[in-house]
Structure 1
């Protein structure tokens, strides 16, 4: 309590008097909260909820869409016994009866309707036991306010005795005590008298023709540029729902096409595509014709054909090979089929355009080869959501029934028996909790097997949810009829296996349910995309994913975030932060999180077969061997994956892929050095010096320093000496005056310094001049490292919440040699002491479990020296020594790792100071062993951790 009191007092004074005079805890200090690209108000509210003992909300306006992520958090809080109170209003009729109906579902919240006329409050109060936090400002509990709008809110924390939060609490209690309890009778009365507020529409100038959206405009520009260069073929990669068909129509218009052919693989797409083109191109109906489904309007100017009909030899023979000056292939990833190849081999169009959301294939055929490796434009699911092109979704990761019943224990085959009564009860309970009762469900359910689909559809129908199973055994006519029934409200669910992964347009779908193993992130994105197409009155899509203990569920965070790093760290981050994509939210229940954690712990994300497949796919796209920068720009993995491989360098990877990469022993050593020491891009100085020397051969040290200064990068003499020591290989010597630890990097300094100038050593320069492969791979690695460096803050030595190994820290501290091997938990130098802490001990029987390195609050962690150590031990005295101004002589830099099982490297949390009154000798005791004499102390971070950051640790 005293620590909280002191931290609060300093934080308030630092915020309101003078920040530099006090140690301010960012999480406790009065703080303005806004929505930014990196963070939003909902993230702070969620963090407060997940750490509080109780909560109180006073919000005038609430929207249905924002209640979905709230329900996920509240469901977990209810299991932990955490309860809350909420006061809202009927002011201006903003809260519809549907909102109050959903509020009645909240299991652990007492809801009241304010009695005060014009109740327009926006405040949130959280009780954390030893302190409280109030957030008050402009933000109602609406999706736009908490995720996107320009809102100003003030967060203030205080002790229970604090005047501000007491006043807020008193105001809340007055409103709550005088309010009307929300119950079924009140809701019934409200429904009878409710009048929705009138929406004021502003007259706008309507155009008779559609206009390209931002994605389409950019793609059209690129397509025109390609044709201007003489290109005859191109591919557009665009997420489902971003308007590929309209894009094709816009391009046909800008290309001033005389005769056009549109090829699809499903008959049900023909009519919709024709209508879309006519909206853009205009003209009489006679200009448009269909070839397929019994129709053969062969002479139409704009012809829309199914591949099945068009590919027949007798049909193709009715056309001249140069009949069409523009052919568009929809869902172009199917072009490897014989039917498509027959069409492509026959026609000789003026321009061929392929469109697909997923060009990646699992066979040896390159989709890109069929379009001359020309990709005009690419927009993936995450980009489309951020750009607002798709309907926002609220993803909820839940556990499958058996796991929920067993509270997280492993049960094999749970998803195999989804269509049993008890499991169906659980399924419908979760659906009814998250789905707004007022909204008719237009749902798609994806299951694993056809018999499962049929059985589940029958049981859902018996429970009052009219459903129909669709499989690949059903005809096109049957599928079209089922889709029409769903859109008309005659069906609640279509239950399918994989047939709706693509090529079907059901804009009214507002719910997607996954009841199958996630075998592929591509299929996951395809099926998710089925519900994201915009439609009138469609505000959001509810996505319910019932996660079992299957081995591939680690693909879920990858598919949702679009991460390509093959880093478990990034997957954990998606699970912890539960990131938002535009107005979409991603939420996992606690048990579902644990299931994915377990899967992540077992899987190797950068397994050899995955890298090989990714390389082959990317090389096929480029029609040449893929390089590191290709992976960084376009690949399923980014370049850092190859820095972590056991292979010495990327040249060895290419050799294993069958490329005749010819490198001398020395060239191989140099590439290994760049890969293992520089490719991760921890700092740019070494990389940019080598890059400039490749281009200029010689560079004056003074010019290099000026270059760094212009960039705003560290350019002091200590840093320059460190750079020279790394590139001179002195850092890798066992000790001063001795040889290198090994010949891994060769024995020649890469960079020499003569007459105040840098230059590459003669052997390295000769290799660059004579070996094409070496120069290509060397320059590629430098460029990839500089690209990866963009994630770091180069104005300082370390970047907060980036990972560093002990060796990385030695290098970036510009030490004369690598002393990481004996460093272990810390090393005291003259001016700095890096401290490495493993926060959570998974095996409490291990020696390390003695050291309870726990955060007592979001800015303090308990730390222990080695044993035996006492207060008069030299290194302890050195740590506690002070300068004349009272500051510590040795600066502690704190690095923390969540557990031994996670990836190598420690998160950098920033500088920390020793809390003097916490320093004491301690005796750590473990059963059966002698006590260990250590000195324990609290380390206080200069920048306190946010709750989400603390969760990641």
Structure 2
């Protein structure tokens, strides 16, 4: 108790008396706002508290389905842990829809009551923890907009259980709770009758929170269709392509972002004499033709369809299937210059013979291709087909930020467990359609629900037999489903899609035939019952529900996660991160701020563990994966890429490439590229720069190499001026460290041999110079110089992720060798550093938080975070309070020793640790105790508490501490 009380006192002092107070601030009062630029939102804090509480109490006037959806996976996990909560709400202004109350009843660990207290308008969230209470109170109701987007003010407070403020809140809650009535199905039925009778909300102006959609004027007249923000930018870019005398352009645009309307707007601007629009499925033609008529206007006879069932051809605007127009006898009906504007939808298919036949025949004045997924696995280069003219590109994350798509709530849920084992890729059909799994599927899709009155769902299975058997099984349970596979005719597909849209079906169950080219805007639930084969297919299937529609406010994505090797592709697909960097993939699992707007990404606890397991087990840097990413980039830009291109095009992290292949030149040889020869020493120099400078963790080395690329020598004063101009910290120790890096005295003998064993840069008489061999190569070998310049430019971009005003940046990852270098140690002592090493007035401490079960007991220290600012730390074994190195840590402040804390979750994280900043020893907690060695013999060890300068950010703290 003393610990929590002291922490509260210190935190309250900082929050209410002196903001510069620098002791424990883990419980300081905090303003919670939604800030897109800083990736902050109220929801994150609410979920953090909810996820770790022992009990919760919500008092909220307004609740929406979307707001409730943001909590569902967390409430499910709490249920599994036996944790319950209470929600107090009302029918004030009849804001809360009847369906919201039905959704609340699904959460069996949540008791809900309704108050008829006049003007009930509270917004408070109380969380009981083992040692304290947390309270979030302010302006945010339980709506997705209030928790993620709207401008809101909320205060987060922490109180001891005996604190007066929390007693006031709890008493208020209990007083109203005891006068309220239990939510039940019969009450909801009665409420629904009165709710349906009301066409609009009364007294709207009295309630600021009412969103715009509730203020809609039913008599509002239709307005002329005009381009949205994205379409306006795209139209300008397409026009610029033409003004640069290019007759082809490619538009890459996420599913549901209005590519058809965009093309129609451009056709309207271009005003062709004749236009040809080509698609790969007949069912898309009518919709495309209808959309064009809305935009272009004019006479109906100007628009026609050329397909298997319609033979119109003599029209101004012709909409054709590729299957029909590619037939030789049909193609020859047209003059090769018949159409001055041709558009190809889903143009990533254009490598097929049918498309190439059409493209090789016609000679339009302008050709526009549109796709959401230009990446190909068949080696056909779509980019080359369009002369590398990417007119516009907008991917999923940007489209959500621009509010162009229907928001989604993604739920990674746990697949069925049979005899203690999760479904995996080897599961037989009999396991996939057992009654238990079918019941499990029904339970999950019911719990996570959908927006709108009735479900309109798509289910994706792994095979045709599974789809058909599952449809039968679900129908026997009372659902209305049909299985559609590639064996079904186009007419049958259209019929069943119409039945789904008209409410005659609940689900269409399919394999891959609806990945693309199907437009069912009313879909409000997408269910994935198959392992993720690729990020492209994942986004295609998720995208089936992202079109906006008046019947839904959001789409629910339910992804059943089993024990699949490819689970690591889920965060890759959702984030759009193609770096192949495991740290990035892990970060995208714990921090989902890359998804903007009211959309959310949620994982049930067991499902999240399966994804992390797949990340740890995966080989993201296999030559096959790197080659595919390399070829994709090369196809996109039409030449051999430089390292800088990988960053500009959001492709592989260059550090991943050189980490596997020592330098980019070696990688290009592995890619079988014909590149100029480099000498062995030139390759060694590239390896040095790739492994020691490219990561950008210290800008100083990058700037010196850049200066020397452009002149024979650089004097020390000029170098210092350049460092100052780039906001870099400057001191003699750092300059000496840089000198030892470039003359290689810092490195071990093994590293020196790898780097050529002679100084790369020498400092003589306060002047820096490349060695003669490098100078000669830079002067005579343009290719070598270009590779070094590329390294420098890439490293400069990498440095932007780090704070150049100090040696180490909070929460970035560093190895033991990085710590030696950046703390200005004279030598790389990483091989003998182990858990910590006091030297040069610094002491880096490296903690692997979750130890391997198999490691020797004598090094299995019980290091533990007591809270986000306090660590209970164990020294090495066989140390006492009298050990000199232990004294250096305990009395670090008196001896001006800087303690730096580095932590990684477990050994699966590799060699790099998160930097958590400096720490101060809490001297009176130092205690000599004992631990057992492998022979169960007692050996001495010292424990003490270390107070971090900065509290660890919550997402990282919970990521590290959760096993």
Structure 1 window deviating more from structure 2 (758-767 vs 295-304): it is 758-767
Task: Rate the CA distance shift 1:593–1:722 in 2: closer, same or farther, 3 A.
Answer: same
Structure 1 window deviating more from structure 2 (279-288 vs 408-417): it is 408-417
Output the CA distance in 1 between the equivalents of 2:388 and 2:787. 22
- Identify the residue that residue 141 of structure 2 maps to in structure 1: 140
- Identify the residue that residue 406 of structure 2 maps to in structure 1: 391
How many angstroms does 1:912 deviate by?
A: 0.9
Output the CA distance in 2 between the equivalents of 1:214 and 1:637. 30
- Identify the residue that residue 932 of structure 1 maps to in structure 2: 939
Output the CA distance in 2 between the equivalents of 1:211 and 1:765. 59
Structure 1 window deviating more from structure 2 (186-195 vs 800-809): it is 186-195
> Secondary structure at 1:731's aligned position in 2?
coil
Structure 1 window deviating more from structure 2 (351-360 vs 499-508): it is 351-360
User: Which of these residues, 513, 519, 539, is aligned with residue 533 of structure 2?
Assistant: 519
Task: Rate the CA distance shift 1:830–1:692 in 2: closer, same or farther, 3 A.
Answer: closer
Confirm or deny: 8 A CA contact 1:640 1:788 kept in the other structure.
no
How many angstroms does 1:287 deviate by?
A: 2.1
> Secondary structure at 2:566's aligned position in 1?
coil
Which residues of 2 match residues 53-132 of structure 1 at below 5 A?
Answer: 53-132=54-133
Output the CA distance in 2 between the equivalents of 1:627 and 1:334. 28
Output the CA distance in 2 between the equivalents of 1:106 and 1:16. 38
> Secondary structure at 1:134's aligned position in 2?
strand
Task: Rate the CA distance shift 1:721–1:223 in 2: closer, same or farther, 3 A.
Answer: farther
Task: Rate the CA distance shift 1:763–1:324 in 2: closer, same or farther, 3 A.
Answer: same
- Identify the residue that residue 778 of structure 1 maps to in structure 2: 788
How many angstroms does 1:832 deviate by?
A: 1.6
How many angstroms does 1:127 deviate by?
A: 0.9
> Secondary structure at 1:294's aligned position in 2?
coil
Query: Is residue 469 of structure 1 aligned with residue 483 of structure 2?
Result: yes
> Secondary structure at 1:908's aligned position in 2?
strand
How many angstroms does 1:685 deviate by?
A: 2.0
- Identify the residue that residue 797 of structure 1 maps to in structure 2: 807
Output the CA distance in 2 between the equivalents of 1:122 and 1:946. 25
How many angstroms does 1:440 deviate by?
A: 0.4
- Identify the residue that residue 769 of structure 1 maps to in structure 2: 779
Output the CA distance in 1 between the equivalents of 2:638 and 2:405. 32
- Identify the residue that residue 32 of structure 1 maps to in structure 2: 31
Task: Rate the CA distance shift 1:204–1:178 in 2: closer, same or farther, 3 A.
Answer: closer
Output the CA distance in 1 between the equivalents of 2:669 and 2:723. 36
Output the CA distance in 2 between the equivalents of 1:513 and 1:790. 40
User: Which of these residues, 467, 477, 492, is aligned with residue 478 of structure 1?
Assistant: 492
Output the CA distance in 1 between the equivalents of 2:834 and 2:776. 41
Query: Is residue 339 of structure 1 aligned with residue 354 of structure 2?
Result: yes
Output the CA distance in 2 between the equivalents of 1:915 and 1:197. 59
Query: Is residue 498 of structure 1 aligned with residue 512 of structure 2?
Result: yes
- Identify the residue that residue 640 of structure 1 maps to in structure 2: 655
Task: Rate the CA distance shift 1:741–1:495 in 2: closer, same or farther, 3 A.
Answer: closer
Confirm or deny: 8 A CA contact 2:24 2:947 kept in the other structure.
no
Task: Rate the CA distance shift 1:743–1:926 in 2: closer, same or farther, 3 A.
Answer: closer
> Secondary structure at 2:151's aligned position in 1?
coil
> Secondary structure at 2:790's aligned position in 1?
helix
Output the CA distance in 2 between the equivalents of 1:458 and 1:382. 37
- Identify the residue that residue 834 of structure 2 maps to in structure 1: 824
How many angstroms does 1:22 deviate by?
A: 4.3
User: Which of these residues, 893, 909, 916, is aligned with residue 909 of structure 1?
Assistant: 916
User: Which of these residues, 644, 652, 662, is aligned with residue 666 of structure 2?
Assistant: 652
Structure 1 window deviating more from structure 2 (154-163 vs 292-301): it is 292-301
- Identify the residue that residue 23 of structure 2 maps to in structure 1: 23
Give CA-to-partner distance per residue, 1:662-705, whole Å, 9 cap, x none. Answer: 11112101110111112222122211332233234544433433
**What is the alpha-carbon root mean square deviation over aligned residues?**
2.2
> Secondary structure at 1:586's aligned position in 2?
strand
Confirm or deny: 8 A CA contact 1:568 1:903 kept in the other structure.
no
Query: Is residue 890 of structure 1 aligned with residue 897 of structure 2?
Result: yes
Structure 1 window deviating more from structure 2 (919-928 vs 708-717): it is 708-717
Query: Is residue 724 of structure 1 aligned with residue 739 of structure 2?
Result: yes
Query: Is residue 229 of structure 1 aligned with residue 232 of structure 2?
Result: no
- Identify the residue that residue 900 of structure 1 maps to in structure 2: 907
- Identify the residue that residue 447 of structure 1 maps to in structure 2: 461
Output the CA distance in 2 between the equivalents of 1:713 and 1:554. 37
- Identify the residue that residue 549 of structure 1 maps to in structure 2: 563
> Secondary structure at 2:100's aligned position in 1?
helix
Output the CA distance in 1 between the equivalents of 2:814 and 2:429. 40
Confirm or deny: 8 A CA contact 1:870 1:935 kept in the other structure.
yes
Structure 1 window deviating more from structure 2 (158-167 vs 790-799): it is 790-799
Output the CA distance in 1 between the equivalents of 2:612 and 2:812. 20
Which residues of 2 match residues 546-625 of structure 1 at below 5 A?
Answer: 546-579=560-593, 580-625=595-640
- Identify the residue that residue 205 of structure 2 maps to in structure 1: none
How many angstroms does 1:848 deviate by?
A: 5.6
Structure 1 window deviating more from structure 2 (793-802 vs 198-207): it is 198-207
Task: Rate the CA distance shift 1:316–1:21 in 2: closer, same or farther, 3 A.
Answer: closer
Task: Rate the CA distance shift 1:755–1:686 in 2: closer, same or farther, 3 A.
Answer: same
Structure 1 window deviating more from structure 2 (700-709 vs 862-871): it is 700-709
- Identify the residue that residue 184 of structure 1 maps to in structure 2: 185
- Identify the residue that residue 13 of structure 1 maps to in structure 2: 13
> Secondary structure at 1:581's aligned position in 2?
coil
> Secondary structure at 2:28's aligned position in 1?
coil
Confirm or deny: 8 A CA contact 1:415 1:516 kept in the other structure.
no
Query: How many residues were matched structurally?
Result: 942
Structure 1 window deviating more from structure 2 (688-697 vs 380-389): it is 688-697
Give CA-to-partner distance per residue, 1:749-801, whole Å, 9 cap, x none. Answer: 33344565544333222212222321222122222222222222223221221
Which residues of 2 match residues 718-757 of structure 1 at below 5 A?
Answer: 718-732=733-747, 742-753=752-763, 756-757=766-767
Output the CA distance in 2 between the equivalents of 1:205 and 1:792. 52
Confirm or deny: 8 A CA contact 2:55 2:83 kept in the other structure.
yes
Output the CA distance in 2 between the equivalents of 1:407 and 1:44. 34
Task: Rate the CA distance shift 1:22–1:691 in 2: closer, same or farther, 3 A.
Answer: closer
Output the CA distance in 2 between the equivalents of 1:710 and 1:206. 58
User: Which of these residues, 320, 338, 361, is aligned with residue 376 of structure 2?
Assistant: 361
How many angstroms does 1:246 deviate by?
A: 1.4
Output the CA distance in 1 between the equivalents of 2:643 and 2:31. 42
How many angstroms does 1:415 deviate by?
A: 6.8
- Identify the residue that residue 422 of structure 1 maps to in structure 2: 436
Query: Which ranges of structure 2 fall in alignment gaps of 5 or more residues?
Result: 203-213
Task: Rate the CA distance shift 1:411–1:212 in 2: closer, same or farther, 3 A.
Answer: closer
> Secondary structure at 1:530's aligned position in 2?
helix
Output the CA distance in 2 between the equivalents of 1:412 and 1:849. 39
> Secondary structure at 1:324's aligned position in 2?
coil
- Identify the residue that residue 193 of structure 1 maps to in structure 2: 194
Task: Rate the CA distance shift 1:812–1:540 in 2: closer, same or farther, 3 A.
Answer: same
> Secondary structure at 1:509's aligned position in 2?
coil
Output the CA distance in 2 between the equivalents of 1:830 and 1:685. 20
Give CA-to-partner distance per residue, 1:802-823, whole Å, 9 cap, x none. Answer: 1100001111112222121111
Output the CA distance in 2 between the equivalents of 1:733 and 1:571. 32
How many angstroms does 1:651 deviate by?
A: 0.3
TM-score when normalising by structure 1:
0.95
Output the CA distance in 2 between the equivalents of 1:207 and 1:91. 32
Confirm or deny: 8 A CA contact 1:89 1:114 kept in the other structure.
yes
Confirm or deny: 8 A CA contact 2:858 2:934 kept in the other structure.
no
Confirm or deny: 8 A CA contact 1:34 1:150 kept in the other structure.
yes
Task: Rate the CA distance shift 1:612–1:768 in 2: closer, same or farther, 3 A.
Answer: same
Give CA-to-partner distance per residue, 1:455-501, whole Å, 9 cap, x none. Answer: 22223233332211111111111111111111111111111110001
Confirm or deny: 8 A CA contact 2:452 2:551 kept in the other structure.
no
Query: Which ranges of structure 1 fall in alignment gaps of 5 or more residues?
Result: 735-739
Output the CA distance in 2 between the equivalents of 1:109 and 1:560. 30
How many angstroms does 1:133 deviate by?
A: 0.8
Which residues of 2 match residues 246-261 of structure 1 at below 5 A?
Answer: 246-261=261-276
How many angstroms does 1:243 deviate by?
A: 1.1
Give CA-to-partner distance per residue, 1:496-546, whole Å, 9 cap, x none. Answer: 110001111110000000111211111011011011011124210011111
Give CA-to-partner distance per residue, 1:857-900, whole Å, 9 cap, x none. Answer: 222222122233222222222233366xxx56211110001112
- Identify the residue that residue 737 of structure 1 maps to in structure 2: none
Query: Is residue 150 of structure 1 aligned with residue 165 of structure 2?
Result: no
